[in-house]
Amino acid sequence: MKQFVLQDYNHPSVVMWVLGNEVEHRRDPALVRQLRKQIALVRELDLQKRPIAAFAGVGNLINYGSAKFDTDVIDYHLYVGIT
């Protein structure tokens, strides 16, 4: 994660950090701890203080579970359409 942030933190297309995509964390305390560490590291390294989302792609707020993350954005991926 450190190498990733330091490599791209100043790239003009980076507008925020998303630390996972459709991550199922609710039943995995070790994953919750790891996400918290990554969030803290990105906050420390990114001098521009871009917004952070811990993960993307949950269908609704209930899917976030009880873990509270120090993030700025909730990123829902709603897949709806005519069936």
**Cα 3 off chain centre by:** 17
Residue 21 pLDDT more than 80?
no
Give domain limits for the chain.
2-76
Residue 67 confidence (pLDDT): 62
What mean pLDDT do residues 34-45 have?
92
Residue 5 confidence (pLDDT): 93
| 2: confidence class by pLDDT, cuts 50, 70, 90 | very high
> DSSP secondary-structure letter at 30?
H
Give the model confidence (pLDDT) of 62-80 as tens digits: 555 556 678 888 777 777 7
Residue 23 confidence (pLDDT): 73
Pairing of strands 52-53, 17-18: parallel
